[in-house]
Amino acid sequence: MNTETMSLRKALGQKKLLDKQIKAMMSEKFVTSESAQTAVIDGLPLNSWQDEVKANYQSLNDKIRRREALAVAIMDANVNNFVELPRFITLDEENTGTEKVSFAGAIARKAYYTNELSYIVNELRQKVTNATEQFDFINDLCERTIRDRMAQEFGTVNNASAKSREERETTLRKQYEAVFYDPADIVKKAKLAKERIENYLEEIDAILGNATEMTTITVTY
């Protein structure tokens, strides 16, 4: 039985490295079919090649065993160790104080903020962009419509007063101009939410990084 003691951060790195090494070993030739007369495989005498395959297979199993031990120890540490995090925030809430959260909870929250919550904010910001573009399009159409209507209604008539023309243009503009509706104040809130999430993720990264460096785990396999 082997026992190793290391920081949680190192364990995470070792597990990641083992995943890479195990995957790379799948390129090894563990079995083959050759002519009965074959005396050399991959540049090695047959007996040496067979010994190498056995050694590689043993190494593969050892890596798998160690990787599982690391995974179990990491999971245990993530559940049983805690950090102080800024309180959970929503789209329009400021950080108010801190709360005690397990490593696992902190990791899950980071993933939620990075993926789902950031996606929601980006979608809201895109809706603002779309509505702004529609606003501009409607106003462009409004100006063209006003020009056409004024030409139709007044044409070459020169006896129409400037006041009557101005009043008619004002009436048409009120009828056709764009109105930007933002009852939930999304323009402002989505921008602020994006900044809050970015700041929160930066802070949680620093907290988790320090915690995983300071936390020691024992791995047995």
**Domain-located, residue 8:** yes
**Domain-located, residue 153:** yes
Residue 68 and residue 158 in one domain: no
**71-84: per-residue pLDDT in tens?**
999 999 999 999 99
Q: What local confidence, expressed as pLDDT, does residue 158 receive?
A: 65
**Domain-located, residue 92:** no
Residue 66 and residue 164 in one domain: no
Residue 64 and residue 167 in one domain: no
Confidence label for 120 from pLDDT (cuts 50, 70 and 90): very high
**21-67: per-residue pLDDT in tens?**
999 999 999 999 999 999 999 999 999 999 999 999 999 999 999 99
For residues 22-33, one letter each, b for 16 or more C-beta atoms within 10 angstroms of the residue's C-beta and e for the rest, the string is eeeeeeeeeeee
Average pLDDT rounded to a whole number, residues 152-174: 84
CB within 8 Å of 36: residues ≥ 6 apart: none
Say if residues 68 and 221 touch (Cβ distance below 8 Å): yes
Domain, as residue range, for 156 = 103-215
Please give the mean pLDDT across all residues of the chain: 94
**Domain-located, residue 59:** yes
Q: Which residue has the tokens 């690391």?
A: 70
Residue 107 and residue 39 in one domain: no
Residue 74 and residue 107 in one domain: no
Count of domains in the chain?
2
Residue 57 one-letter amino acid: Y
pTM of the model: 0.77
DSSP notation for 77-138: HHHH-EEEEEPP--TT----SEEEEEHHHHHHHHHHIIIIIHHHHHHHHHHHHHHHHHHHHH
Residue 135 and residue 187 in one domain: yes
The β-bridge partners of 85 are: 99
* 46-80 vs 103-112: helix crossing angle, rounded to 10: 90
Separation in Å, CA 62 to CA 1, 118, 161:
12, 40, 95
Residue 25 and residue 69 in one domain: yes
Residue 30 and residue 133 in one domain: no
